[in-house]
Amino acid sequence: MKPLILTSANGTPASKYSFGTMQFGGKADKKESQKLFEASRDAGLNFFDTAYGYTDGLSETYLGEFTAKERDNLVVATKCAPVAGAASTYIRTQLDESRKRLKTDVIDVLYLHKWDDSTSLEETFSTLAELQEQGLFRYLGVSNFSAWQTMKAANIAEKHGVRIDILEPMYNLVKRQVEVEILPMASSEGFNVAPYSPLGGGLLTGKYSNGLGGRLAENKTYNARYNNDWMHETARKLSEIAGKIDVSAATLAVAWVARNPAITHPIISARSVEQLAPSIDAITYELSDELYGEISAATRAPAPATDRSEDS
């Protein structure tokens, strides 16, 4: 099943790549954030991703200011229920606040930021159905859901007359779990897929070849996620491949993610325009089948979903 084509309010299709604004108001101050936004637009991107919980609201606030002059040409996604949960009151409160920050009456894509065990799906999706019916958002997505969680949510959503249009999972060369069930499910059921973190927190740029730095050193979550010997070995192999063909490792890492046929809108991001440049280069970089295979072989493929792998 083919996924629904996401469009802006005036019918412009969402760009293949999306820009993630998690750094707006954090590692990127307002001036640098605007430069990043403008660089993304210059590269042809019209799809921007943020969240209620990013940088205490500054990410949404800055993005709202930057997009104001051409809002109807753009597709803006945000996420709700990151911590407090997906109860009706939190979804309503956060959506209202996000709309104010983003200076828009209608959110193009609204994601649930994470799975919430404490709230019934009936409550969550009846609320989302009502809000979509009121015209407060156009497309519905889920972020960080497993395959079974996605399908369970999709079934409940359908009962309330809404559908899940897009998924936002983590995906990169050292985080390939989505290949087991999430990406096949997306292709089968017609979900768009906008994966985040194609550079693995910066690991796959090769800049940590001589030791930890940046987010991998500063952030406990990223350190726990990527401070693994075999992951560093993969980053080293990717840098070797990149060096042989004189292409940035970051460009190859992003192009590798985008090359998967189930991926529709890979999310790129950076804290500076200079840092963003290799990811922008990936937009036009043509990754051959041979090079894709060589890069894939540099890391561990996840185990299959069943134990009968010998039958394949």
CB contact set of 137 (below 8 Å; sequence gap of 6+): 95, 106, 107, 108, 109, 110, 131
User: Mean per-residue pLDDT for 238-262?
Assistant: 98
| Residue 105 contacts residue 38 (beta carbons within 8 Å) | no
Q: What is the Cα gyration radius of the chain?
A: 19
Token pair of 4 as six digits: 């629904």
| Residue 73 contacts residue 41 (beta carbons within 8 Å) | no
Catalytic residue selected from 17, 54, 111, 139: 54
Active site residue 54: yes
Question: Which residue do the tokens 């998967």 mark?
Answer: 260
Domains of the chain: 1-168 (3.20.20.100)
Least confidently predicted of 16-25, 44-53, 56-65, 207-216 = 207-216
Q: What is the rounded (10 degree) CA torsion for 86, 305, 290, 274?
A: 20
Longest dimension (CA), the chain: 57
310 phi and psi angles, rounded to 5 deg: -70, -15
pLDDT in tens, 265-302: 999 999 999 999 999 999 999 999 999 999 999 999 99
| Residue 269 contacts residue 144 (beta carbons within 8 Å) | no
118 phi and psi angles, rounded to 5 deg: -90, -5
Question: Which residue do the tokens 């010997």 mark?
Answer: 229
pLDDT in tens, 99-153: 999 999 999 999 999 999 999 999 999 999 999 999 999 999 999 999 999 999 9
| Residue 78 contacts residue 59 (beta carbons within 8 Å) | no
pLDDT for position 216: 67
- The model's pTM is 0.95
227 pLDDT higher than 90: no
